[in-house]
A and B are shown apart, each in its own frame.
Chain A
Amino acid sequence: MKRIKDKEKYVRLQIKRERHNTKRRLRGRRKQKRIGRILQGKDKRERKNWLRMFREYGDNRIRAPKILSLLNNTEDTVRFLQRINSSWKKRKPVFVVLKEVEQIDHSATTVLLSLIHRFQVANIKFNGDFPQNQEANKILHESQFFERLEYDHPSSRDYTMKRDNQIIGEAGTQTIDPKTALEIREDVSQTITGTSDYVFPTLHPSFIEVMQNTYEHAGEDEGTVHWWLSINHDKNNHSVTFHFIDFGRGIVDSVLNKENNRITKAFKEYAWSLFNSNKFPDIIIRLLNNEHKESKVDYYRGKGIPSLKKALDNNRVKCLSIITNKAVVNVAQNTTSVLQTDFTGTYITWVLNNECEKKIWIKK
C-alpha cells in the first residue's frame, strides 16, 4: 500500500503549493527591494513617514500632472482624474502626489475638492502632499484643500464651504439653496461692480440649469448624483468664474442612452457606431443649439443646456466651456476637441464680468 505522501494526487498538490509559495516569496522580495530603493538616501523621519503612508495607501499613489488644469491641460488632468475615480470605484484608498505640480487653477481645485467629498462620503481614505511650487501651493491652500483632507467625516452629504464670505464649494443633489443664491448675488455684484446693488440675470438661472441637468440626467435614477459648485472671485479683473462639476454619466452618455432606450436593440448598435467619440462634441453642439429633440412624451424638456448657449450669445455670460465624456467644447471660442480618456462626468465653467448684462437689485 502506498503512503499518502507518495500518492500522485498529494504530490501534485505539494508542487502546486510550493509554486504558489515561491511566487509569493519572490513578490515579497521584489516589494522589499522596491521599497529599499525608494527609501535610499532618505533620513529616518522621512522613511518613517513614507512607510506610514505606504501602510495606509499601499501602492496607490497617483501622480498629478505638472499642469493641473481642466482648461489648459485637459487630457492629462482627465487621465489623472479617471485614475482617482477608478480607485473610488474599487474602494481603494488614494494618495495624490501633488509635489511636482507647477501650475494649478481653480478648475483643478474644484475637482480635487469634489473628489475629497466623494471619497469621504464613501468613507474611503484620501490624502495628498503639497506642491513644491509656491504659487501652486498658495492656490491649493486658498482652496481649503488641506483643511478638507483633515475633515474626516462629513456630517451631511450636502454642505457649503466658505472663505471670507465667498462660496468656494457647495455640494448637493437638489438645486441650490435659495439663501445661498441670495448671498452669492451680493458677493458677485460686489466683486464685479464694486457695489452690492446689482443682479446678473443669468446668475441664478445658470445654477438651476446645470444642477437640474445633473439631477435629471447624470444618474441612473433622478437625484442620485452629487454636484459641486465653486465660485472664484477675481477682484483685480472684476470677474467671477464659476466651476460646476458632477461625476455622473456625462451629457453625451446620457443623450446616447436615452436615444438607445427608445429604439430597438439592432438600432442601438448602429447608433453607437454612428456616434463614435469623434462625434461627441457634435452631440454637445447639437444640444446647445437646441437641435436635439427629447422624446414625444418629454417634448417640453431639455431646454436647460441650450439656455446657457443663448445666455452666451446674448452677452449674459462669458467664456462658457463644457467637458463631458470625451468631448471638450469651448462654446465661447467655438472650438471643439476629442479626449483620448473618457471623462465620466460633466464639467461646466462660465464667467460673469462687467460686460455682462445686469440690473439693479431692489431689496424686498
Chain B
Amino acid sequence: MDQKIKIAVRDFSETPGPREKVQGDFSAEFFVETVLDPEFQKMDADVNLKMEINLDGTLGYGTSFLEEVFGGTTRNKGVDFVRDRIEVISEEEPWLKDEIKSYVDDVEKHNKESN
C-alpha cells in the first residue's frame, strides 16, 4: 500500500495569508518553503510516497495562497506530480477542490500553449 504524508494547513496557520512573504504573514511562499519542500524531497526519494493536504479548520483561503501552493507546485514539479501524488481534502469548503483543479489545469494549458 502507498504511504501518505499527511499535512494539515491548520497546523501551519489558522489564517493562511497572501502569496508572497513580503505581502504578509503566513504566506503561501513561506508554507511551501517550510512545510512542503522538505516533504517533496522525501517524495522525490520514494516514488511511491504520496501526500494528503487537508485544507479544513482555517479561516479560509485567498486565491493567491492556493494558486501559489498548487499552481506553483505544478509549475515546479509538473502536472503529473500534483495530479497523481497530491490529494486535497476539503470537507468544509468543497468548492476549493474545483478551484485547485482549475489552477493545475491553467498551468497545463499554459505549458501546452508555450510548447
Q: A-side interface residues toward B, CB under 8 Å?
A: 174-178, 181-182, 185, 199, 201-205, 208-209, 211-212, 215-216, 222-223, 296, 299-301, 303-304, 307, 314, 359, 362, 364
Interface CB pairs A-B, < 8 A, 13: A174-B22, A175-B17, A175-B24, A176-B24, A182-B15, A199-B60, A204-B58, A204-B60, A212-B18, A212-B23, A212-B62, A300-B103, A303-B63
Chain B residue nearest to A175 (CB atoms) is B24
- Per-position contact with A for B11-34: 1 when CB-CB < 8 Å, else 0? 001110111001111100000000
Q: Which of B18, B67, B92, B107 contacts A303 (CB 8 A)?
A: B67
Q: Establish whether residues B59 and A177, one from each chain, have CB atoms under 8 Å apart when the complex forms.
A: no
Q: Establish whether residues B92 and A178, one from each chain, have CB atoms under 8 Å apart when the complex forms.
A: no
A172–chain B nearest beta-carbon distance, Å: 9
The complex places the Cα of A303 from the Cα of B58 at a distance, in Å, of: 20
Top 3 A-B pairs ranked by shortest CB distance? A208-B62, A175-B24, A204-B59
Q: Establish whether residues A304 and B63, one from each chain, have CB atoms under 8 Å apart when the complex forms.
A: yes
Q: Establish whether residues A182 and B59, one from each chain, have CB atoms under 8 Å apart when the complex forms.
A: yes
A307 CB contacts on chain B under 8 angstroms: 62-63
Q: Establish whether residues A178 and B25, one from each chain, have CB atoms under 8 Å apart when the complex forms.
A: yes
Q: Establish whether residues B15 and A209, one from each chain, have CB atoms under 8 Å apart when the complex forms.
A: no
User: Cβ of B57 < 8 Å from any Cβ of A?
Assistant: yes
Q: Which of B13, B64, B103, B107 contacts A208 (CB 8 A)?
A: B64
Task: Tell which of A175, A201, A216, A222 has the most Cβ of chain B within 10 Å.
Answer: A175
Chain A residue nearest to B93 (CB atoms) is A201
Q: Establish whether residues B14 and A182, one from each chain, have CB atoms under 8 Å apart when the complex forms.
A: yes
Q: Establish whether residues A215 and B23, one from each chain, have CB atoms under 8 Å apart when the complex forms.
A: yes
Q: Establish whether residues A223 and B23, one from each chain, have CB atoms under 8 Å apart when the complex forms.
A: yes
- Per-position contact with A for B50-82: 1 when CB-CB < 8 Å, else 0? 000000011111111101000100010000000
The complex places the Cα of A212 from the Cα of B19 at a distance, in Å, of: 9
Q: Which of A182, A304, A364 contacts B64 (CB 8 A)?
A: A304
B107–chain A nearest beta-carbon distance, Å: 7
A359 CB contacts on chain B under 8 angstroms: 92-93
User: Cβ of B110 < 8 Å from any Cβ of A?
Assistant: yes
Q: State whether A201 and B107 are in contact (beta carbons under 8 Å apart), knowing that A174-B24, A178-B25 are contacts in the complex.
A: no
A222 CB contacts on chain B under 8 angstroms: 22
Q: State whether A300 and B107 are in contact (beta carbons under 8 Å apart), knowing that A178-B15, A181-B15, A208-B64 are contacts in the complex.
A: yes
User: Cβ of B10 < 8 Å from any Cβ of A?
Assistant: yes
The complex places the Cα of A222 from the Cα of B110 at a distance, in Å, of: 26
Chain A residue nearest to B59 (CB atoms) is A204
B103 CB contacts on chain A under 8 angstroms: 300
Q: State whether A205 and B63 are in contact (beta carbons under 8 Å apart), knowing that A178-B13, A314-B95 are contacts in the complex.
A: yes
Q: Which of B10, B17, B59, B67 contacts A199 (CB 8 A)?
A: B59
Task: Tell which of A205, A307, A359 has the most Cβ of chain B within 10 Å.
Answer: A205
The complex places the Cα of A46 from the Cα of B106 at a distance, in Å, of: 67
Chain A residue nearest to B11 (CB atoms) is A364
Q: Establish whether residues A185 and B67, one from each chain, have CB atoms under 8 Å apart when the complex forms.
A: no
Q: Which of B23, B58, B65, B110 contacts A299 (CB 8 A)?
A: B110
Q: Establish whether residues B63 and A201, one from each chain, have CB atoms under 8 Å apart when the complex forms.
A: no
Q: Establish whether residues A300 and B62, one from each chain, have CB atoms under 8 Å apart when the complex forms.
A: no
Q: Establish whether residues B106 and A201, one from each chain, have CB atoms under 8 Å apart when the complex forms.
A: no
Q: Establish whether residues B63 and A178, one from each chain, have CB atoms under 8 Å apart when the complex forms.
A: no
A304–chain B nearest beta-carbon distance, Å: 6
Chain A residue nearest to B92 (CB atoms) is A359
The complex places the Cα of A331 from the Cα of B19 at a distance, in Å, of: 26
Q: Which of A205, A216, A296, A300 contacts B71 (CB 8 A)?
A: A300
Q: Establish whether residues B25 and A299, one from each chain, have CB atoms under 8 Å apart when the complex forms.
A: no
The complex places the Cα of A216 from the Cα of B64 at a distance, in Å, of: 12
B22 CB contacts on chain A under 8 angstroms: 174, 222-223
B58 CB contacts on chain A under 8 angstroms: 204
The complex places the Cα of A223 from the Cα of B20 at a distance, in Å, of: 12
Q: Establish whether residues A303 and B13, one from each chain, have CB atoms under 8 Å apart when the complex forms.
A: no
Chain A residue nearest to B27 (CB atoms) is A175
B15 CB contacts on chain A under 8 angstroms: 178, 181-182, 204
A300 CB contacts on chain B under 8 angstroms: 67, 71, 75, 103, 106-107, 110
